[in-house]
């Protein structure tokens, strides 16, 4: 291209873009002058006027602009009718290049006279596109073929057009920051030049054809029924393909004549692309209507053409895209944020609900052309709502909000993927059918993730996390995990301390059913009622520091708690599960489970509840009420927020930052394990509960099978994970939990650092959430704030009457008796009850009480033995009846000669 031609093209592009921009800005300014049908007519005229400008420019310049026009013409679900109607002209053949030019290109590329190669060559092309034109021909052996011939000089035109498109995108991003298309144009600039080498396209065509053909023999339900022409010969500018007689997608007359099922057609095309993306990781990035034909013979299979712009993605990106898809299908905010992290998409702020709204746009059911306006309007309305939330959260003024882009980094692979989804939706709109993409693509996305989840170490050496073995016992444990395999284990961590030293620190399996990433030592598992042991220890810590008394009436600490027959309930009654409030809030929770995410409201409701039994008369397990009762006591006696006390009492002294939370902060989503149910154990539980003789003696126990099956849905929810539920939603690693119990086992003395063999180092995830001030400050204990201007609420210190810090977490020499409710504390616990003061206690065969801990529904467990200075924690994400945990504890304790009964959750203890 000469310099004059270059500047002529640039001038035409920028002049048209400026005219259109100014036209729409002017129309926006006078929009309020019109109303009703006159406003609609006014906007329709504006769209018609500017669509004509765009079409004229694209016809004049050809090249890349024609491809852009073809793309826009498929977006009947998102663009005004005028643009779709006028730009559809670009789907028909453009003016062809002369036969002389075509002949010269063929003979130069293939090195022979055209007539020697193609005895019969049809002069009129079948189609003329932006890069090339296609002619029908016959080879010397009589085979019918099509010959794709690249336009002379098109390479220079395309490269120049990419520069111009990039400049316009930069300008739009500056003028209207909310419409920043730079990630898309950057990826297009990188990928588009590959289309100019037809050898590249030939290899892509062979690879896609081979992938679909081979996989079709194996896939079963994921089989794809499409046709792809065979590659006969290629060079840089010539591509010879098998001829297939087909109908163009925009030929409605022929589609009707051949009785083509357009719904089935688009669904099969969608399945083909889902297979390419999620199964093969190699897909055509340009599925516009011109790249498809429909076979005239029944069952009218789609014919896939033109693999010039074909994208290869890594296995990790393939899984990230599949995870993003399934997160949208399940509306799982945690999985979505984890998928973003996996694919390298970075957000500038923590807005999970807005991120979900954005992601779901790409997988929505395509709108019919008649619904295009409503579809665009609904997307715009949702965007406006999301931007308002962002503006309020970031405290931005209108000007700042306009220029704020919540996305910090957008991976190029995801750009092409999303472009494909948009083109597929345009395809269904073009054919006037509705395709439910979530239903069609889901099996392929599941296959991508489940394919990464191997059956065990024999197949995948990384099923057990590659970390050094601390002891012979750990080696035996790993062999046991291999024996149990993925049928019983999804993801698991096991950590044990003996005499203050780590003897086991093993992680194995994957982070979730749809999350094939390996479990690491720092993966965070939801541990359910294990949380109660942590919460109980916080109460003991406040008692030890003199802020609270075991025999103190809760109403004295927490005034709102008084009345409703609760004045006699003391702190030790709650810890011993004998307050009579075991069913508190049960009816409320059944009606609205997410109510437990509201900390203040839950505290208010628990404070106004009425006991069912006399305090201290019966020990009945407090499933969820335990946490709010203890939580209210903790906050009102300390004058601090619950999480502050947790950090001050245990997180910082034990150096387990970032690996033990009750209510996760933003930013740790990528380390969260996802819960699933062991269906075999669930069926066993259902059968047991069906037996009349083993039915629960009271409604207090409830339907355990139903509860267990519903818990993953509720506790995989991001709102639940972020809530403070001190009876149920701790998220921790086994090594943090084992270290916590190791400290309890030795009476609260600080421990040496965790094993240096465990990577990343325990405590390396430094994260200190900020806490809002208490709404109801308590004046019983004086609260002082430091005067440092840089201090945060975590700098609040309790005036403890001159007590000095020591090297121990607890100073009481009888702290173990307090935990287990024995000795001086025996009068505070129900005799022979399962619980001491906040912990399950376990007896030896001789009746000695020396072990305590807490288990959670599903199998996660933590326990310690004071005589042997031993602690162990097991975290799992496949919820079962505790059989896996039992096997692990049996092996470890038998090897160490420690007599320890299995700490099953209270829900399962009646089943033996």
Question: Which residue is catalytic, options 77, 180, 280, 286?
Answer: 286
| Nearest to 838, CA basis, from 815, 859, 866 | 815
Whether omega before 299 lies within 30 degrees of 0, making that bond cis, reads yes
| Nearest to 270, CA basis, from 157, 421, 395 | 421
Q: Where are the beta strands (DSSP E) in 744-848?
A: 783-784, 797-798, 840-843
Return left, alpha or beta for 726; rule: phi > 0 is left, psi -120 to 50 is alpha, else beta.
alpha
| Nearest to 365, CA basis, from 313, 315, 430, 433 | 433
CA distance 359 to 336: 9
Q: Per DSSP, what are the bridge partners of residue 599?
A: none
CA distance 465 to 477: 13
Which pairing describes strands 246-248 and 292-295: parallel, antiparallel, or unpaired? antiparallel
Q: Is 286 a catalytic residue?
A: yes
Whether omega before 539 lies within 30 degrees of 0, making that bond cis, reads no
Compute CA distances 20 → 63, 98, 180, 780, whole Å.
Answer: 21, 34, 17, 69
Task: Compute φ and ψ for 224, nearest 5 degrees.
Answer: -115, 135
Question: Tokens in use for 896?
Answer: 């160490």
Whose structure tokens read 């932006």? Answer: 130
Measured between its terminal Cα atoms, the distance across the chain in Å is 83
Which pairing describes strands 501-512 and 491-498: parallel, antiparallel, or unpaired? antiparallel
Burial per residue of 480-497, b for 16 or more beta-carbon CB atoms within 10 angstroms, e otherwise: ebeebebebbbbbbbbbb
Whose structure tokens read 């920043």? Answer: 180
CA distance 516 to 152: 48
**Most distant CA pair in the chain, distance:** 106
What crossing angle do the helices spanning 333-343 and 352-363 adopt, rounded to 10°?
Answer: 80
**Backbone CA torsion sign across 687, 690, 694, 699:** positive
Residue positions annotated with a catalytic role: 286
């Amino acid at each position: 291209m000469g310099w004059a031609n270059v500047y002529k093209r640039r001038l035409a592009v920028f002049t048209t873009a400026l005219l259109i921009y100014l036209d729409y800005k002017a129309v926006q300014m006078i929009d309020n002058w019109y109303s009703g049908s006159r406003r609609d007519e006014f906007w329709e005229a504006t769209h018609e006027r500017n669509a004509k400008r765009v079409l004229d420019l694209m016809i004049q310049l050809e090249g890349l602009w024609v491809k852009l026009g073809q793309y826009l013409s498929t977006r009947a679900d998102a663009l005004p009718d005028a643009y779709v109607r006028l730009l559809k002209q670009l789907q028909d053949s453009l003016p062809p290049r002369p036969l002389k030019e075509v002949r010269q290109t063929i003979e130069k590329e293939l090195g022979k006279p055209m007539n020697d190669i193609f005895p019969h060559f049809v002069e009129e092309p079948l189609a003329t596109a932006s890069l090339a034109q296609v002619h029908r021909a016959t080879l010397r052996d009589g085979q019918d073929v099509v010959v794709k011939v690249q336009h002379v000089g098109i390479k220079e035109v395309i490269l120049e057009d990419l520069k111009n498109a990039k400049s316009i995108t930069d300008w739009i991003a500056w003028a209207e920051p909310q419409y920043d298309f730079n990630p898309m144009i950057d990826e297009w600039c990188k990928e588009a030049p590959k289309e100019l080498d037809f050898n590249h396209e030939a290899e892509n065509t062979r690879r896609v054809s081979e992938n679909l053909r081979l996989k079709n023999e194996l896939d079963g339900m994921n089989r794809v029924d499409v046709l792809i022409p065979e590659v006969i010969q290629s060079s840089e500018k010539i591509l010879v393909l098998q001829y297939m007689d087909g109908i163009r997608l925009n030929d409605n007359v022929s589609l009707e004549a051949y009785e083509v099922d357009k719904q089935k057609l688009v669904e099969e095309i969608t399945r083909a692309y889902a297979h390419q993306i999620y199964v093969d990781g190699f897909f055509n990035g340009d599925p516009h209507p011109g790249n498809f034909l429909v076979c005239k013979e029944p069952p009218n299979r789609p014919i896939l053409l033109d693999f010039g712009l074909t994208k290869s993605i890594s296995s990790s990106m393939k899984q990230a895209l599949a995870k993003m898809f399934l997160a949208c299908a399940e509306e799982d905010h945690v999985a979505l944020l984890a998928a973003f992290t996996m694919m390298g998409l970075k957000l500038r702020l923590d807005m999970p609900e807005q991120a979900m709204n954005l992601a779901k746009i790409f997988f929505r059911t395509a709108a019919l052309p008649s619904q295009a306006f409503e579809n665009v309007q609904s997307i715009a309305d949702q965007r406006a709502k999301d931007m308002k939330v962002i503006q309020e959260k970031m405290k931005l003024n209108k000007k700042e909000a306009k220029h704020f882009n919540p996305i910090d980094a957008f991976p190029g692979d995801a750009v092409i993927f999303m472009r494909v989804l948009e083109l597929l939706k345009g395809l269904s709109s073009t054919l006037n059918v509705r395709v439910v993409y979530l239903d069609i693509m889901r099996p392929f996305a599941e296959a991508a993730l489940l394919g990464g989840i191997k059956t065990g170490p024999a197949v995948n050496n990384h099923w057990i996390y590659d970390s050094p073995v601390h002891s012979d016992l750990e080696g035996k444990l790993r062999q046991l995990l291999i024996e149990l395999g993925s049928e019983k284990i999804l993801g698991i961590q096991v950590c044990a301390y003996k005499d203050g030293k780590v003897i086991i620190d093993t992680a194995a399996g994957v982070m979730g059913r749809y999350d094939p990433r390996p479990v690491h030592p720092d993966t965070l598992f939801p541990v359910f009622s294990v949380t109660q042991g942590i919460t109980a220890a916080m109460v003991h810590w406040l008692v030890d520091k003199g802020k609270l008394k075991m025999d103190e009436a809760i109403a004295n600490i927490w005034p709102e708690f008084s009345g409703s027959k609760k004045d006699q309930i003391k702190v030790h009654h709650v810890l011993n599960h004998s307050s009579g409030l075991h069913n508190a809030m049960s009816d409320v929770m059944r009606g609205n489970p997410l109510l437990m995410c509201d900390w203040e409201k839950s505290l208010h409701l628990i404070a106004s509840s009425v006991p069912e039994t006399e305090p201290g008369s019966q020990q009945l397990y407090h499933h969820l009420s335990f946490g709010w009762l203890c939580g209210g006591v903790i906050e009102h006696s300390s004058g601090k927020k619950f999480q502050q006390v947790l950090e001050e009492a245990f997180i910082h002294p034990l150096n387990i930052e970032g690996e033990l939370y009750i209510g996760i902060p933003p930013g740790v989503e990528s380390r969260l394990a996802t819960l699933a149910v062991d269906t075999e154990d669930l069926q066993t539980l259902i059968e047991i509960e069906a037996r009349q003789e083993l039915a629960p003696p009271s409604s207090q126990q409830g339907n355990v099978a139903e509860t267990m099956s519903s818990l993953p849905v509720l506790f995989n929810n991001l709102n639940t994970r972020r809530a403070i539920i001190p009876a149920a939603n701790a998220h921790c690693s086994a090594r943090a939990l084992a270290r916590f119990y190791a400290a309890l086992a030795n009476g609260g003395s600080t421990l040496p650092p965790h094993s240096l063999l465990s990577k990343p180092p325990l405590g390396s995830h430094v994260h200190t959430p900020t806490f809002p001030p208490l709404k109801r400050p308590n004046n019983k204990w004086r609260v002082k704030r430091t005067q440092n201007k840089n201090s945060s609420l975590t700098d609040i210190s309790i005036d403890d009457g001159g007590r000095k810090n020591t090297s121990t977490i607890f100073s009481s020499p009888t702290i173990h008796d307090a935990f287990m409710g024995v000795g001086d504390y025996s009068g505070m616990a129900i005799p022979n009850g399962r619980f001491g003061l906040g912990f399950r206690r376990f007896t030896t065969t001789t009746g000695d009480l020396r072990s305590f801990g807490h288990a959670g529904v599903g199998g996660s467990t933590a326990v310690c033995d004071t005589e042997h200075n031993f602690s162990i924690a097991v975290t799992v994400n496949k919820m079962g009846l505790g059989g896996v945990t039992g096997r692990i504890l049996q092996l470890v304790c038998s090897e160490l000669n420690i007599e320890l009964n299995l700490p099953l959750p209270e829900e399962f203890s009646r089943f033996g």
